[in-house]
Amino acid sequence: MVARRRDRLEALAAELTRQHGTANQVVALDLLAEGAVDELWRQVGDLDVGIVVANAGISVAGPLVDNSPIEELNVLTLDGVVPLQLAHRFGRRFAQRRRGAVILVSSMIGAGPAPYLANYAAVKAYVSSLGLALNYELKKDGVDVLVVSPGPTQTEGLDNAVGIDFHKLEGPIMAPSRVACTALNNLGKRAHVIPGATNNSMALMGNTSCRGGCRSDSTAGSFTAPR
Ligand SMILES: NC(=O)c1ccc[n+]([C@@H]2O[C@H](COP(=O)([O-])OP(=O)(O)OC[C@H]3O[C@@H](n4cnc5c(N)ncnc54)[C@H](OP(=O)(O)O)[C@@H]3O)[C@@H](O)[C@H]2O)c1
């Protein structure tokens, strides 16, 4: 388990051991730091890792030109570059031993252009495209790749999102455990999954983005940082 806050990771590790008897290794690491994935590999490269989940992600909302370019670059790095590096490192290892899986956490919002989440949506589109192609490339090597595109999910990230109040968006907010279960239940069966019936209906109706032209602004009522 990798994140920056060691105390949180250790508390979760202890809970998992208590409830499920698992052995856990905690790696406190800022994945935005230079060479972070190399450092992660140094720490866990000897482990018999079965599934890698590229989940850590951040978002920045608001008009792109008003936002900090450094923060937008951090979104690109953490949500896009790091999943690429993880998929490359672990995907190569898995292909060599002909077993393993990579789960890339994208977002429904990556289905198309999203005003006021422009960079985040674009990066998630990249992750989805990357994962779908890798699903094909690595299938012959016995490696499963799954792209998970959650809709709004009740996490700290959703509560603390800067510039947008996701609670004002229409539709249900899903429990993270449901997203995780849906991902694991679909791993090895398909290339892409959107957790939740309502989210799937919205995706079918093309309600998650403005592909083909951004005429109406579906996130405007949720936007909390006007110019
Ligand atoms: N929540 C939603 O509605 C939603 C919807 C669609 C997609 N997603 C995607 O789901 C994924 C998880 O989002 P979430 O809502 O669960 O976010 P979250 O509650 O903010 O959790 C993010 C996790 O990533 C870790 N993290 C953040 N920055 C990091 C860094 N620089 N280095 C290492 N670890 C870092 C955090 O731990 P530390 O802070 O301790 O590092 C935390 O464990 C993201 O890829 C997000 O884009 C979320």
Q: Kindly give the distance from the C-alpha atom of residue 56 to the centroid of ligand 1, in angstroms, as a whole number.
A: 4
List strands edge to edge, sheet with 100-105: 51-54, 100-105, 143-148, 192-193
Give the per-residue pLDDT at 216.
43
Give the per-residue pLDDT at 227.
46
Q: Kindly give the distance from the C-alpha atom of residue 57 to the centroid of ligand 1, in angstroms, as a whole number.
A: 4
Intervals of the chain under pLDDT 70: 207-227
Round to whole Å and give the CA distance between 8 and 17: 14
Give the per-residue pLDDT at 215.
46
Q: Kindly give the distance from the C-alpha atom of residue 37 to the centroid of ligand 1, in angstroms, as a whole number.
A: 16
Quick check: is 6 in a domain? no
Quick check: is 147 in a domain? yes
Q: Which of 155, 156, 162 to mutate to test the pocket of ligand 1 (most atoms within 8 A of CB)?
A: 155
CB 93 within 8 A of CB 142: no
Quick check: is 85 in a domain? yes
**Which residues make Cβ contacts (< 8 Å) with residue 134, sequence separation at least 6?**
87, 91, 102, 145
Quick check: is 185 in a domain? yes
Among protein residues, the one with the nearest Cα to ligand 1's atom 22 is 56
Task: Please give the number of the atom of ligand 1 that sits closest to the Cα of 4.
Answer: 41
Quick check: is 129 in a domain? yes
Across the strands, what pairs with 27?
2
Q: Kindly give the distance from the C-alpha atom of residue 54 to the centroid of ligand 1, in angstroms, as a whole number.
A: 10
Give the CATH number for residue 75: 3.40.50.720
Q: Kindly give the distance from the C-alpha atom of residue 32 to the centroid of ligand 1, in angstroms, as a whole number.
A: 13
Task: Please give the number of the atom of ligand 1 that sits closest to the Cα of 30.
Answer: 32
Round to whole Å and give the CA distance between 115 and 216: 10
Q: Is 54 exposed, middle or buried (0-12, 13-18, 19+ CB in 10 A)?
A: buried
Residue 65, CA distances (Å) to 109, 117, 122, 221 in order: 20, 11, 15, 19
Quick check: is 58 in a domain? yes
Residue 118, amino acid: A
What residue ranges line ligand 1, CB within 6 angstroms? Answer: 3-5, 8, 29-32, 55-58, 78-79, 105, 107, 150, 152-153, 155-158
HEC secondary structure over 78-107: HHHHHHHHHHHHHHHHHHHHCCEEEEEECC
CB 97 within 8 A of CB 87: no
- In the chain, the number of structural domains is 1
Which residue range forms the structural domain that includes residue 135? 49-222
Give the per-residue pLDDT at 64.
97
Quick check: is 43 in a domain? no
10 Å Cβ neighbour count for 40? Answer: 19
- Of the candidates 136, 167, 156, the one whose C-alpha atom is nearest the C-alpha of residue 59 is 156
| Residue whose structure tokens are 């791993």 | 187
Among protein residues, the one with the nearest Cα to ligand 1's atom 18 is 157
Among protein residues, the one with the nearest Cα to ligand 1's atom 23 is 56
Quick check: is 92 in a domain? yes
Q: Kindly give the distance from the C-alpha atom of residue 100 to the centroid of ligand 1, in angstroms, as a whole number.
A: 23
